[in-house]
Structure formats: structure tokens, C-alpha cells
Copies of this chain bind each other. A is one copy, B any other.
């Protein structure tokens, strides 16, 4: 699997999917939340909160404030539409929301492209590790940093 960025149609589909999920679950996908989601998914690399803030301010032609952005992000994360990459304080869109609540990531340090890598065998292995330690998982952060194929060949 390559780490190329998403196509326009993939982006559209992703946005449409979120709209549908919100509609059917009666989640308030307000204008700001939608704007923030679109900014995040259209960015093909992880984006920072204050970068979103700048973009939102530009779109709406008036300054926005951090809480506005962080609240929207919270909403999007709570509902599985967006993930936070703790290792780089950045946010990425989820391209299969509802498939699972946890996502694992490969993050290229050179080109910053990221890739979800949530295969079941990995999930199982983490689950077994937790069980082995009598531990009940609430959430998992797995972020693998390194170099993607393209960047490691250069």
C-alpha cells in the first residue's frame, strides 16, 4: 500500500459519509464543525490546531479563536471522524469512521504523509498484551514514525 494522498473523489466521499452519519445519528454537524472537518481531510498531511485556526479565519473573513477550533476537533474526535496524532500534536481525518474506534498510524517524517494501518492481527496482538497484563483498554495510541517507500528510496 502506498502513502499517496487522497483523490478528490475520496475526499468528497469522506465528507459525504460524515454528513450521512451525522444525519442518521442526529449529531449536529454545524457549519464550523463541517469546515474544520473539511480542512482536516483536505490537508493530505497531519494538520495542527493553529493551522486550522488560520484557515477558518480566512474562510470566514474574520478572526476565530482557539476554543472554536478545539471544540470542533473534540466533536469530530468523539464521533470518530478525526484522530489526534499525539506524537506530533496534529490531527488527521479518518477514512473509515465507525469501522473501529481506534486507529493506528504510519507517519512519514520526511513527506509527512500518513497512512492508517489498523489490521486485525495488530489489534489482536495489542488486545492480547492487555489481557496478559490484566488490563482493560479504553484507548490506544499507536504511531509508527519513519520513512515511507518513496522517501526511503530517495
Q: How large is the interface on A (under 10, 10 to 19, 20 to 34, 35 or more residues)?
A: 35 or more
Interface: A65 (CB within 8 A): no
- 17 residue pairs from A and B, CB less than 8 Å apart: A1-B133, A1-B134, A3-B135, A86-B87, A86-B141, A106-B130, A108-B135, A117-B132, A117-B133, A121-B129, A122-B129, A130-B146, A133-B148, A134-B148, A135-B144, A137-B145, A137-B146
B135–A149 touching, CB < 8 Å: yes
A122-B129, A130-B144 are known; give 10 further A-B pairs, CB within 8 A. A3-B133, A106-B133, A117-B133, A119-B132, A126-B144, A135-B146, A135-B149, A136-B146, A136-B147, A140-B144
A112-136 near B? 1/0 per residue, CB < 8 Å: 0001010101100110111011111
A11 interface residue (CB < 8 Å to B)? no
Interface string of A73-93 (1 = CB under 8 A from B): 000000000000011000000
Tell me the smallest distance from the CB of A44 to a CB of chain B, in Å: 17
Whether, in the assembled complex, A9 has its beta carbon less than 8 Å from a beta carbon of chain B, the answer is no
Residues of B within 8 A of A106 (CB): 129-130, 133, 135
User: What chain B residues lie within 8 Å of A149 (beta carbons)?
Assistant: 134-135
Which residue of the partner chain, among B2, B129, B132, B141, contacts A141 with CB atoms under 8 Å?
A: B141
